[in-house]
Amino acid sequence: MGFTDTFNDTFAFVFWVSVVLMIAITFAMVYFMVRYHHSRNHQAEDIHGHFGLEVTWTVIPTILVMAMFYYGYVGYKEMDTIPEDAMVVETTGRMWSWAFKYDNGIETDTLVVPQGKAVRLNLGSTDVIHSFYIPAFKIKKDVVPGVNTTMWFQPDTAGTYDVFCAEYCGDRHSYMLTKLKVLPKAQYDNWYSTTGALFTSNSSASGSGEIGGNNSARGEMLVKTKGCVACHTFDGTPLIGPSFKGVYGKNETVITDGTERTLTVDEEYLIRSIKQLDADKVKGFENMVMTQIELSDEEIAAIIDYLKELK
């Protein structure tokens, strides 16, 4: 697991040194309390020092501290030195979700990587400070707007692992969760090629990039990776904004230029609402502030296809 083994060894070394010292110091303390109790020593004697003891309790702790420093430094250098052949995943944090983009155009809300391969994460934030944290791999780094940071790890065991945001970032900070999926090489290659085709070729879904194409699978992935789920749900429950469930074709009361009106949610309305955030705000949510998200016409088409099917 890359530097994780060094981290584990360092932790074990510090832990067991602490255990031995705690036992030794406790034993010595109890011994001296009994051995030199005032009932046995009615007249205390002055002590002017003991050169051997003074050297011992100076040299031994110094050696232990320097050993801890050495192991800590070695682990830090391993953690800070990213292998040149590491695969790169662009990682974006936004309130309140993570998005992962691969070099073939795949963008997902779950981090998927091959087993046994070093992975480099280029971290960025679109809004506030987040912190990318994978407890199983003992890695955590702040994700700061306008600052490019990196981290890496090497997963040697296939499985699914938790990913958290470890920096308070607003009301739904505790919901900023996702998963790391480590797949065997052959399984990962299959996922990479099939999912990549979904993102790099609109014809694979609809034959065109026009509104109305059957891009719903891609649309669902875009909704999850572009941060829409921070304000909208899929189950009909309103959140910061109205739910996506059943929204297409629904008669909705909106506020347009301060005037209340009723309209049917169709393709035209959805396109306008995505591109012009304040054009037609749903009544009851007119005071909510929506973050502008850059989307291509093809991506908007895919999202609308998904909303059509979300009944």
Query: Which tens digit of pLDDT belongs to each residue from 149-158?
Result: 999 999 989 9
pLDDT at residue 184, rounded to an integer: 94
39 and 64 part of one domain: yes
285 and 305 part of one domain: yes
Average pLDDT rounded to a whole number, residues 301-311:
83
Instruction: Work out how many domains the chain is built from and give that number.
Output: 3
Is residue 163 very low, low, confident or very high in pLDDT (cuts 50, 70, 90)? very high
95 and 194 part of one domain: yes
**pLDDT over 70, % of the chain:** 91
Confidence check: pLDDT of 291 > 70? no
Residue 65 makes CB contacts below 8 A (sequence gap 6+) with: none
What DSSP letter does each residue of 141-198 carry, written as one string?
EEE-TT--EEEEE---S-EEEEEEE-S--STTGGG--EEEEEE-HHHHHHHHHHHHHH
Last residue of a domain, one of 200, 219, 245: 200
176 and 248 part of one domain: no
66 and 100 part of one domain: no
74 and 112 part of one domain: no
Last residue of a domain, one of 148, 168, 200: 200
Last residue of a domain, one of 18, 48, 80: 80
Residue 287 makes CB contacts below 8 A (sequence gap 6+) with: none
112 and 193 part of one domain: yes
* Domain span including residue 172: 87-200
Average pLDDT rounded to a whole number, residues 199-219:
50
Confidence check: pLDDT of 35 > 90? no
The CATH number of residue 17's host domain is: 1.10.287.90
pLDDT at residue 208, rounded to an integer: 35
175 and 211 part of one domain: no
pLDDT tens column, 37-47: 877 777 777 77
